Amino acid sequence: MVQKKPVVIVTRKLPDAVETRMMELFDARLNVDDTPMSKTELIEAVKEADILVPTLTDRIDASVLAQSGPNLRLIANFGTGIDHIDLKSARQRGITVSNTPGVLTEDTADMTMALILAVPRRIVEGVQLIEGDEWEGWAPTSMLGHRINGKRLGIVGMGRIGQAVARRAQAFGMSIHYHNQHRVHPDLENELQATYWESLDQMLARMDVISVNCPHTPATYHLLSARRLKLMQKHAYIINTARGEVLDEPALIRMLEKGDLAGAGLDVFENEPAINPKLRKMKNVVLLPHMGSATIEGRLDMGEKVIINMKTFIDGHTPPDRVID
Ligand code: DGY
């Protein structure tokens, strides 16, 4: 008897090679035109699917999961962050959740480093000067930014990405500091030459650049609150390539408006894809469209991970990247 292939509903367009492989292995229902699914469509999807493959643009909350059909047993997220999935509700319904950690670490760290360089060295402003045909030639006092070498970098969240940022920043001559839920192993601290700050408040008050690299969870929502942002030095910069929700965006804007911070580099926002228009106008702010992990290689690796998670699960085993809440 021919076994029925599991119905896999994929909410967004994925790289062709990933989709082809999924179609070979599963009864894959693809989103060819890549329009993000509405809530109604998501509800239809969780009713129909054996496995759902969502991305961070899908809100898989309790009200969506409440409508899930009896077949839905796995949510194999295409991405590492899982703050868009109600894990508690999934667990209550016996639905396993997996993600794609590890394969976007280096790319996201590269983009973080790019912002750490771009904001203090005014790279985007420089490009705009040329593009606007406004450059009048080299001058001793034109386009001055701030040196990175010798500056203190405070990393909020010393997981995989935080560590990869630390390695890069070390090579640029920055001194590495970090705050994390738990202190990392002394060998790793040694390798990264990183100083641990148990108090986030104290670290914020001493750094020249802060890089946000922790996941968004209920515990980290607005971790960088208005009160904490005010602890930062006026000449300091803040970089966020994690999740917009970790940072109180309106508070950040107020501080930038008042000149209480030197600048910001943001790849993520509180209400993506909406961007506060005030941010767009600020010269000392570099904004990117959530592209930290956006490399062809990274997306293929993510697809590969999703497929391995699904295959392992179908074969009756725990997916290697099962999320434990
Ligand atoms: C993720 O996987 O969570 C990333 O934010 C995608 O870029």
Q: Which atom of ligand 1 is nearest to the CA of 293?
A: 7
**pLDDT in the model for residue 132:** 98
Q: Which of 50, 52, 54 is nearest to 70 (CA)?
A: 50
pLDDT at 261 over 70: yes
**Residues 188-246: tens digit of each pLDDT:** 999 999 999 999 999 999 999 999 999 999 999 999 999 999 999 999 999 999 999 99
Q: Which atom of ligand 1 is nearest to the CA of 99?
A: 2
**pLDDT in the model for residue 325:** 76
- Say what the pTM is: 0.97
The backbone region for 26, taken as left when phi is positive above 0, alpha when psi lies in -120 to 50, beta otherwise, is beta
Sketch out the chain's domains with CATH numbers: 7-103+296-314 (3.40.50.720), 105-287 (3.40.50.720)
pLDDT band at 3, cuts 50/70/90?
Answer: confident
Show the beta-strand stretches assigned E in the chain. 7-10, 27-29, 51-53, 74-76, 96-98, 152-156, 175-179, 194-196, 209-212, 237-240, 263-266, 285-287
**Closest residue (by CA) to atom 2 of ligand 1?**
79
Q: Which atom of ligand 1 is nearest to the CA of 81?
A: 3
pLDDT at 163 over 80: yes
Ligand 1 centroid – CA 73 distance (Å): 23
Ligand 1 centroid – CA 81 distance (Å): 6
pLDDT at 57 over 70: yes
pLDDT band at 2, cuts 50/70/90?
Answer: low
**pLDDT in the model for residue 324:** 85
DSSP-derived pairing of the beta strands 194-196 and 209-212:
unpaired
pLDDT at 307 over 90: yes
The backbone region for 173, taken as left when phi is positive above 0, alpha when psi lies in -120 to 50, beta otherwise, is left
Residues with CB under 6 A from ligand 1: 56, 79-81, 104, 290, 292-293
**Closest residue (by CA) to atom 3 of ligand 1?**
81
Quick one: average pLDDT of 153-176?
Answer: 98
Mutation test of ligand 1: which of 14, 293, 301 has the most ligand atoms closer than 8 Å to its C-beta? 293
Ligand 1 centroid – CA 103 distance (Å): 10
Ligand 1 centroid – CA 267 distance (Å): 11
Q: Which residues are catalytic?
A: 243, 272, 290
